[in-house]
Amino acid sequence: DKGNHRHFMLKEIYEQPIVVAQTLKSYVRRLDDQVSLPTPDFDLSAIRRVTIVACGTSYYAGMVAKYWFEQFARVPVDIDVASEFRYRQPVMEDGGLALFISQSGETADTLAALRHARSEGQKIAVVVNVPTSTMAREADLLLPTHAGPEIGVASTKAFTCQLAVLAALAANLARAKGRLDPREEKEVVRHLSEAPAAINGALAYDEAIEAMAHLIAPARDVLYLGRGTDYPLALEGALKLKEISYIHAEGYAAGEMKHGPIALIDENVPVIVIAPSGPLFDKTVSNMQEVQARGGKVVLISDYDGIQAAGDGCMATITMPKVHPLIAPIVYAIPVQLLAYHVAVLKGTDVDQPRNLAKSVTVE
């Protein structure tokens, strides 16, 4: 049931404040300001390396997690898409945790990668939205998202719920490694708990984004740029747009533009820049200005401070609530999803059932 929404995708975008809060309830305790996990049957503090494997949007959630695990827990992370991981003979040493992320828990490549990692002696952690799925059954450490059934082929609420679980996992790992003191843990809990309200704040820009979609819909190609955890978000934005609007889109690390892709820039290629104010803001803005100097039309997604500092000269801006960098990827996922959605509606595509795609890819 779509409720009063035109598509399942839009309904699912709007469910995010509730389902992210629901998911966080299992992983953060406001009462004693602690992050918590279901107790693994192995010692988290002994994990020496994490290997993350997934496909599509779930893979991009994994990319964000790589930044978090390395930054907070100082644990080395390897990450790959499942279809590559399976066949490249990856080296997995003892004491490794292999982490699989999947909405459905049935994606054939991810499941095969899981079984391969197990045969190589890795502990298996699974972030999955369908608790009865095959991957859920095969996990040593099951970390469910509580997004509820996701019907739209384009993944939305599963992604933000995956990020919520992965942030909590990163904090748990950091604590187990002695790298998160109680004061820092309390801060993590506080920031994560702010996510649902911030998502609500982001949803308030739906109409503005709908109006802006008219600027993107005529384009043949669209680029997305971001740095740090906003880089995977740029990739996710491009995937979402391709998948449901059939417009060609690519995501790049903002700093990579000058190594090639900037040659694509002209007034016909809109560039979506994802840049919350924070430590990497100035760097991203200078990449944005390189694009503008070549006639590129920029849409800047930032917060009030960011837009004040760098919004002049942009084709359009989207103002997000000001949030802590930890939850920025969760909150900035919303405008990225809404933009793809409204462009697709303008293009008249079948938003919930885009051509050539299935909700769950159970063949290799």
The nearest distance, CB 161 to ligand M6R, in angstroms, is 11
Read off the tokens for 156: 């939305």
CA angle 137–140–141, rounded 5-degree value: 95
Q: Which of residues 286-345 bind ligand M6R (CB under 6 A)?
A: none
Q: Does the protein bind ligand M6R through residue 361 (CB under 6 A)?
A: yes
The nearest distance, CB 12 to ligand M6R, in angstroms, is 11
Q: Does the protein bind ligand M6R through residue 55 (CB under 6 A)?
A: yes
Stretch that binds ligand M6R, among 51-59, 199-207, 218-226, 254-262 (CB under 6 A): 51-59
CA angle 55–59–64, rounded 5-degree value: 180
Name the residue nearer to ligand M6R (CB basis): 47 or 239.
239
Binding residues for ligand M6R, total number by CB under 6 A: 16
Name the residue nearer to ligand M6R (CB basis): 293 or 358.
358
CA distance 347 to 249: 15
Reported in sequence order, the residue ranges of the chain that DSSP labels E, i.e. its strands, are 28-29, 34-35, 49-54, 77-81, 96-102, 123-128, 141-144, 221-226, 248-253, 270-274, 297-303, 316-320
Residue closest to 320 by CA, chosen among 159, 151, 198: 198
Stretch that binds ligand M6R, among 34-42, 113-121, 147-155, 221-229 (CB under 6 A): 147-155
- Catalytic positions, please? 359
Residue closest to 54 by CA, chosen among 135, 110, 115: 110
Q: Does the protein bind ligand M6R through residue 217 (CB under 6 A)?
A: no
Pairing state between β 270-274 and 248-253: unpaired
Name the residue nearer to ligand M6R (CB basis): 55 or 307.
55
Q: Which residue type does 94 have?
A: D
The nearest distance, CB 196 to ligand M6R, in angstroms, is 22
Q: Does the protein bind ligand M6R through residue 108 (CB under 6 A)?
A: no
Name the residue nearer to ligand M6R (CB basis): 113 or 170.
113
Q: Which of residues 218-247 bind ligand M6R (CB under 6 A)?
A: 239, 243
Q: Does the protein bind ligand M6R through residue 193 (CB under 6 A)?
A: no
Which class for 213: exposed (0-12), middle (13-18), buried (19 or more C-beta within 10 A)? buried
CA distance 60 to 19: 19
Positions touching ligand M6R (CB under 6 A) are 55-58, 102-104, 107, 110, 153-155, 239, 243, 360-361
